[in-house]
A and B are shown apart, each in its own frame.
Chain A
């Protein structure tokens, strides 16, 4: 088709315009899917520089920041989580993935529009009193962040009353308690009982090296996750199914 013909025949002109627009849309979608894949891949590889690069490209291409996080970074972290469950990735690699994801989030977060996000579920998270082992809790935080939860991280060696205060103040949907030591995990039922008295909204989850599903039940927790990969699945099930 030549240009002259286009101008001569309105029908052809119309077709050409549709063709151009479709190509543009196709190109945009291709570009978009490339960018989202780039974000996911950079997260999986723990490549911080690339993650930042793809996050900037996403914004330049007009991709909604929330979409970039959920369909890029979060997809990448899901792969990381699966690989961790299968024993294909270990904590050093996951920590690098976390660095990459948080670097991308730094770029994307200022551009988040509340309207597209909806209201995120709030999670209060911490390692119980007397315990300073926080690698597991940090991995859980990472997975929750990646899944779009709003995480209030209380840190490690957290006094029992601080969990309750934070849950009430923040209107938490879920409180996650972590412990590695048998001496510290006995604080879990104390916190859970207090939470039940003061905040009837929040569901509770426990986890950590020495915990078991039976013990979680004995402690009165609503949920138990054996590791960080499982934590988000359990949380989502608890929050959609209620207590």
Chain B
């Protein structure tokens, strides 16, 4: 099928509850773009111009509909005074923590909420945001769930053990992170206007591979609700929410979040491949957009035809969502995926994703 809409028109249609020419595609590409453009991966996370241009070129080359953004999973440690390493070595895929700023409960007491204008990666993120704004694209800032950044600040095992041994310390830390995220949202929305911004939230430590639903309720939910409520209150229209990995047991809390916030704003949900689209439609289908969740490692290890088949299956299930569907990947697309497999997503979208 020949595309009849531009990417902006297509994404716009989905977000306004209309039917586009075909399902839009957001393959959740970051590191892969650097690889395809022959850019050292570390540059993607340190140089806003290269970060923006690389992602833009990759999207143009394949014809997918995502716009550039800046985010990474180890977010938090650098911003709160720790040390971060950039992925310049073989085998690395994203920034990684070298030194966690918190080692003891006393460190949490001493920890100051950083200045959202200068903290860690913020200048790079703001730089990418400015370029997006100049090109009429949404400005994405990273905010949202507190437990993943808390784990990066205090070291994951230490934080998880404190959840049982010293819960009050974890709450103290989470409170500071929540305060910081709200400050970041204020900085971005006051710079660009809330209607031009999109908040990106989510993280892997909230996954039920690590914590149970009760722990999610105690250590994640109240802060998530507070941040989302304030971000939406500022007038940010869209939250791109990525409950990473298996979060099936947390689903009732994501539902509760939307209900308690009165289904305000528009959410784009990007669950891991463990969460069936049918279940997502049941919960969020009346209000929110779902982004497809094709299994990420498959892009690296399966062949073209298998990827087309996986995407076709995802389209057939996701397109039934009454509030819109974007064909996507359940987490970042592997940077080492064979380039032809990204074309497989586009082929599937064009062949099987048209709206009648």
Contacts and interface: CB of A to CB of B under 8 A. Distances in A.
Nearest to B96: A132
B334 interface: yes
A138 B157 contact: yes
Given A96-B164, A96-B165, A186 B91 contact: yes
Interface in B162-214: 163-165, 208-212
A181 interface: yes
Given A90-B211, A183-B334, A186-B336, A96 B161 contact: yes
Interface in A2-19: none
B160 interface: yes
A130 B91 CA distance: 4
A91 B210 CA distance: 5
A181 B93 contact: yes
B335 interface: yes
Nearest to A136: B209
B91 A129 contact: yes
Contact of B301 (A99, A138, A215): A215
- The contact size tier of chain A is 20 to 34
A211 B33 CA distance: 23
Given A90-B215, A183-B31, A183-B335, A95 B91 contact: no
Interface in B71-94: 89-94
Nearest to A89: B212
A85 to B, nearest CB: 12
Interface of A: 46, 87, 90-93, 95-96, 99, 128-132, 135, 138, 181-184, 186-187, 209-210, 212, 215, 218
Interface of B: 31, 89-94, 96-97, 156-157, 160-161, 163-165, 208-212, 215, 245, 296-297, 300-301, 334-337
Contact of B164 (A93, A181, A215): A93
Given A90-B211, A92-B211, A183 B160 contact: no
6 contacts: A92-B211, A96-B164, A99-B161, A131-B91, A138-B157, A182-B300
A129 B91 CA distance: 6
A210 B209 CA distance: 13
Contact of A182 (B163, B245, B336): B336
A216 to B, nearest CB: 12
A130 B210 contact: no
B90 A130 contact: yes
A124 to B, nearest CB: 19
A131 B163 CA distance: 25
B210 A184 contact: no
